[in-house]
């Protein structure tokens, strides 16, 4: 059991319902995400995986439950300040600590790679342009794309775009990286280059929550795997436990189809 200080995100009884409860995308998910965890979320389509991930930074507003991030319940509209007075929660302040990488890159097409990467650090964090550019170039160097700094997204392959999307999120120096099926829109030959960057991040100790269909990645890189179905967290464990000795019949059935 992790010490309380190690828990970065504590999710308790998280619910997301639509149509007055007729559709239960999340139906009471409880899990702790510790600093340095690489948590891989697997399950069939429509199981609530992406809803869970997008709820962590309130891109999806939960119907019920709580998400305590860095000691603050971000599902509350108002939180106590240092003086004990209730003040409006600044969700953008907390989102800045969470890097998010989507299926479809979300790069600004009218900006170069370097401009895409420096926009938020300069405008949101107030970092001087020269410093933001130097940091962006160092990050691009890390993923082998320094020579593409002045290219526009249309001039990049899918794998290159996704690598830029990852380092763009890293440029904000987040405490946790959230990946929503980051390879599902890529051609098969480009998947490896993106997974390689994610493996490197994991080895460096970045806290990551990854929704993916890449079972090899889950097995090799994750330290914990969550299996979701029908809006429920049905099983969690180490990769060895989940893939080697699955207990829940739904998980056994799922793995029989994907492995």
Tens-digit pLDDT profile for residues 57-74: 999 999 999 999 998 999
Q: What is the DSSP letter of 209?
A: E
| Residue 79, pLDDT score | 78
Give CA–CA dist 165/155, Å, rounded. Answer: 15
DSSP string, 81-102: -TTS-EEE--HHHHHTTEEEE-
Q: What is the pLDDT of residues 96-109, one digit of tens each?
A: 999 999 988 889 99
Percent of the chain with pLDDT over 90: 85
- pLDDT higher than threshold 70 for residue 150: yes
65: alpha, beta or left, given left = phi > 0 and alpha = psi -120 to 50?
A: left
Q: How many CB atoms lie within 10 A of CB 87?
A: 11
Contact 189, 2 (CB under 8 A): no
Q: Is the CB of residue 165 less than 8 Å from the CB of residue 106?
A: yes
Backbone angles phi, psi at 114, to 5 degrees: -65, -40
Q: Does residue 1 carry a pLDDT above 80?
A: no
Average pLDDT of the chain is 94
Residue 161 has pLDDT above 60, yes or no: yes
Which pLDDT does position 82 carry in this prediction? 79
Instruction: Write out pLDDT tens, residues 105-123.
Output: 889 999 999 999 999 999 9
pLDDT higher than 70, residue 5: no
Q: Is the pLDDT of residue 43 over 70?
A: yes
Residues 15-35: what's their mean pLDDT? Answer: 94
Reported as a single tens digit per residue, the pLDDT across 193-238 is: 999 999 999 999 999 999 999 999 999 999 999 999 999 999 999 9
Report how far residue 166's alpha carbon sits from residue 182's, in angstroms, rounded to the nearest whole number.
9
* pLDDT of 3 above 60: no
């Amino acid at each position: 059991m992790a010490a309380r200080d190690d828990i970065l995100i504590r999710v308790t009884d998280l619910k997301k319902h639509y149509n007055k409860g007729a559709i239960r995308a999340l139906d009471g998910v409880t899990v702790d995400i510790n600093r340095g965890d690489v948590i891989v979320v697997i399950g069939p389509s429509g199981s609530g995986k992406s809803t869970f991930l997008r709820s962590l930074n309130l891109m999806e507003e939960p119907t019920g439950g709580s998400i305590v991030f860095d000691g603050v319940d971000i599902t509350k509209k108002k939180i106590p300040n240092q003086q004990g007075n209730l003040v409006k929660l600044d969700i953008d302040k907390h989102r800045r600590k969470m890097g998010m990488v989507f299926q479809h890159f979300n790069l600004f097409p009218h900006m170069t790679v370097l401009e895409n990467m420096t926009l938020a650090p300069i405008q949101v964090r107030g970092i001087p342009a020269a410093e933001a550019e130097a940091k962006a170039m160092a990050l691009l160097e890390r993923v082998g794309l320094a020579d593409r700094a002045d290219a526009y997204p249309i001039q990049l392959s899918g794998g290159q775009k996704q690598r830029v999307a990852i380092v763009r999120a890293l440029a904000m120096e987040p405490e946790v990286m959230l990946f929503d099926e980051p390879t599902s829109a890529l051609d098969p030959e480009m998947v490896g280059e993106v997974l390689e960057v994610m493996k490197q991040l994991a080895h460096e100790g970045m806290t990551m929550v990854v929704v993916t269909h890449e079972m090899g990645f889950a097995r090799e890189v994750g330290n914990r795997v969550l299996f979701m179905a029908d809006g429920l967290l049905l099983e969690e464990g180490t990769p060895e436990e989940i893939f080697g000795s699955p207990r829940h019949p739904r998980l056994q059935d799922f793995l029989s189809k994907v492995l």
